[in-house]
Amino acid sequence: MTYLAKPRLHHPTLATNKVGYKRRDYEGKISTLCAGCGHDSISAAIIEACWELDIEPHRVAKLSGIGCSSKTPDYFLGASHGFNTVHGRMPSVLTGANLANRDLLYLGVSGDGDSASIGLGQFAHAMRRGVRMAYIVENNGVYGLTKGQFSATADQGSKSKKGVLNTDSPVDLVALALQLGASYVGRGFSGNKAQLVPLIKGAISHGGAAFIDVISPCVAFNNHPGSTKSYDYVREHNEAVSRIDFISGREEITVDINPGEVMDVRQHDGTLLRLRSLHPGYNPGDRYAAMAYMQRHHAMGEVVTGLLYVDPLATDLHTALNTCDRPLNALETDALCPGAQALEKLNASLR
């Protein structure tokens, strides 16, 4: 017999956030993923980020595609809205939901197969249109759910569990997101929660298309010597460009800093991203420098992590389309259906 329900009881001493919820209120069902799968650590980081951000769970819509990674929204934010779409189609369904209801916070959860293979076109257009969302790819370099075939993000020269060499060039979703116009781009590692939680908090608070590629080892099919997406490889080759602290707009800033060591980036909603540079001269406000930097370090076999690029004043698709301020389900019938005369006027203006 399997038990998928978690006990609903809360210990009275558990901490409560500013909107009255305990961390456990942000959990979902018990995970059915393999023990040690990186994806479960990412779910834990999302739970932590939403709890710390004081988000009411019903304000979040989580959407995903198909894959072990895309199953994970079932394991966090059980009280939020959810839509498990078709393989690779999360971005277009999310775009539609976002246009219909701009009041929700959108979390797009996907895999490297889901976003870099079948859904590559969908990924590209969500990024270039500036759909406001936190798009998280749980990147393990394989199709975990269908038993470990190389995915499009597998590095050239990487070996499968059976020793087969991958000869194809990899798709680098971070490089693509930068090129396509995403306004918040980061890379994390499921084994580094201290870095991942503030990266996710920054993405959720961002005003445009935010993308985070999280290297997330698949312990069943891609965690052996020769794989560049294994825990050991990423730990040995990880280069963090900065350490990021997320400071909510409401909080007083009390951290002691040396000038020149940190860069403060204030986002449109008042939240502050405080970046402590670990690589002298790295500028997260320069998209083109970020692209060159990433590619140079990838060629050296390094996995660069951290907040790689941010445009704090980014706007989104709603601004570009000049949509109305309210969600469609909050509009009265007259506003939704202004009548035949209004249609006639509109048609006449197009003749």
Ligand X SMILES: Cc1ncc(C[n+]2csc(CCOP(=O)(O)OP(=O)(O)O)c2C)c(N)n1
Between CA 62 and CA 103 the distance in angstroms is 14
Site string for Mg ion, 162-191 (x = CB under 5 A): ------------------------------
**Number of residues lying near ligand X (CB under 6 A):** 18
Part in contact with ligand X (CB under 6 A); list of ranges 138-146, 162-170, 320-328, 338-346: 138-146
3-class SS of residue 203: helix
66 binds, among Mg ion, ligand X, ligand SF4, none (CB under 5 to 8 A by kind): ligand X
Q: Which of 25, 52, 112, 213 binds Mg ion (CB under 5 A)?
A: 112
- 234 in contact with ligand SF4 (CB under 6 A): no
Residue 126's closest CA among 86, 170, 173? 173
88 lies in the site for Mg ion, by CB under 5 A: no
Contact partners, residue 242, CB within 8 Å, separation at least 6: 263, 275, 276, 277, 278, 279, 282, 284, 306, 307
Footprint on residues 16-55 left by ligand SF4 (CB under 6 A): 33-34, 37, 39
111 binding ligand X? (CB under 6 A):
yes
| 209-215 and 184-189 beta bridge pairing | parallel
Contact 100, 114 (CB under 8 A): no
- DSSP result, 229-276: TSHHHHHHHEEESEEEEEE-TTSPP-----TTTEEEEE-TTS-EEEEE
When binding is defined by CB under 6 A, the residue of 28, 57, 91, 113 that contacts ligand X is 113
- Nearest approach in angstroms of CB 55 to ligand SF4 is 26
DSSP 3-state of 97: helix
Closest separation in Å from C-beta 142 to ligand SF4? 7
- In the complex, which residues of this chain contact ligand X (CB under 6 A)? 66-69, 87, 111-114, 118, 138, 140, 142-146, 151
